Amino acid sequence: MRVEDLDVGDIVYAAITIMDDGSIPGGVEGEILAEAGTRGVITMIGHVEEQPERSVYLVRFEDQQLNLGDPVGCWVEELMVEPVTLN
């Protein structure tokens, strides 16, 4: 299964550490929003007006207490379907 096959309500994981790039109102540029491997849930799927072929996923990632945080806009390459397993 691919991220592109998922829908609202589906679980995803951060493929990389996701940081605020300065585009979040009231946010702090450079702040870590989700560490790589953090579980989240898709809350909305849309696209960028200037790039309608490119989907953006709003994801609420869990914190240390398993509470869902504020929605974070993510590109498909920043997400994965399965958690990373360490051998």
Task: Give the domain ranges of the chain.
Answer: 3-80
38 vs 82, which has greater pLDDT?
A: 38
CB 32 within 8 A of CB 17: yes
Cα–Cα dist 6/80, whole Å: 10
In the structure encoding, which two tokens stand for residue 73, read together? 């806009």
CB 20 within 8 A of CB 29: yes
CATH of domain 3-80: 2.30.30
Cα–Cα dist 37/61, whole Å: 10
12 vs 53, which has greater pLDDT?
A: 12
The pLDDT score that the predictor gives to residue 19 is 94
The CA–CA distances, whole Å, from 25 to 53, 62, 65, 77 equal 25, 20, 24, 23
pLDDT in tens, 42-72: 999 999 888 888 999 999 999 999 999 999 9
What percent of the chain shows pLDDT beyond 70?
Answer: 97
